[in-house]
Amino acid sequence: MRVKGFGVIGAGSMGNGIAQVSAQAGFPTVLFDIGTAQLDRAKTTIQKSLQKLEEKGKLKETGAAIFGRIAFTTSLTDLKTCDFVVEAASENREVKFKLFAQLDELLAKDAVITTNTSSISITEIAGKTKRADKIAGMHFMNPVPIMTLVEGIRGLATSDATFAHVRAVSEAMGKTFIEAKDAPGFAVNRILMPMINEGFFALNEGLASAKDIDTALKLGCNFPMGPLELADFVGIDVCLSVCEVLHRDLGDPKYRPSPLMRKYVEAGWLGRKSGRGVYVY
């Protein structure tokens, strides 16, 4: 299994982690974002992460050699020669649909294009291209260099060969691959987000303080982070958007987003990235 060029769309926390792990796997990698500021932040994040891993002896080569395998660009056409692409742009349907149509025009006919979407239908994204058989979901977890899961999702038309290739690429990146159906939230977010949402309902009801809710799940269930801490880590806006997809597409009122979660997003309290979420950073 070889990847000649691994393209990543979006230099946010998921995209930069995916580019790093691709470079660690030895793939020549191109990281695209529309803004130079995002690319500059990604460079710093990747360098710091590689430095930590190098200090702990967890890399097979130097961090500098791995970093040197990543090209950073604001021009989508620089992905032209990539034969494997992961789209990790913002979780917005229209943005993703437009990008997939552009990538379909730009890339060679046999290139595989995957999306790191946390909840949008893979079948619908694939429908924006003329290569639905070569499109799949490839859902990484945050922080990508540490979390070892990739959730693979087949769209209705994804071919067996494409899916086998996505599995092989994920495994070459050191990840454990599971397969989930193309249903709202796939496996991880179908189960994780209702728990986070319930954490906000519980907080709103005054069931316990935020800290005690998190401590309950950390010490009571051995979770590394409680639900509210994790919401701040993932981004409360991301959690809300996944809860909205679950509610709308599954049509069951049990998935309705907590009004408190919505209020936090309205206030711009998005979690760690905005300096304030359930907790202040």
Which of 134, 119, 114, 109 has the alpha carbon at shortest distance from 18? 114
Between 5 and 72, whose beta carbon lies closer to ligand 3HC?
A: 72
Taking CB positions, which residue lies at the least distance from ligand 3HC?
118
CA quadruple 173, 177, 183, 185: dihedral sign: negative
The Cα–Cα gap between 116 and 85 comes to 10
Q: How far is the CB of 165 from ligand 3HC (least distance, A)?
A: 22
Please give the structure tokens belonging to residue 87: 């789209």
Query: Judged by CB under 6 A, which stretch of 101-109, 154-162, 186-194, 252-260 contacts ligand 3HC?
Result: 186-194
Between 54 and 171, whose beta carbon lies closer to ligand 3HC?
A: 54
Which of 38, 36, 42 has the alpha carbon at shortest distance from 22? 42
At position 199, the amino acid (one-letter code) is G
Residue 251 has a CB neighbour count (10 Å cut-off) of 9
Give phi and psi for 87, each to the nearest 5. Answer: -90, 120
217 binds ligand 3HC (CB under 6 A): no
118 binds ligand 3HC (CB under 6 A): yes
221 binds ligand 3HC (CB under 6 A): no
Q: How far is the CB of 139 from ligand 3HC (least distance, A)?
A: 6
Q: How many residues bind ligand 3HC (CB under 6 A)?
A: 19
Task: Give the residues across from 71 on adjacent strands.
Answer: 30
Between 206 and 220, whose beta carbon lies closer to ligand 3HC?
A: 220
59 binds ligand 3HC (CB under 6 A): no
Contact 201, 195 (CB under 8 A): no
Helices (H) and strands (E) in the chain, counts: 11, 8
Taking residues 8 to 37 in sequence order and writing x for each that binds ligand 3HC by CB under 6 A, - otherwise, the string is ------------------------------
238 binds ligand 3HC (CB under 6 A): yes
191 binds ligand 3HC (CB under 6 A): no
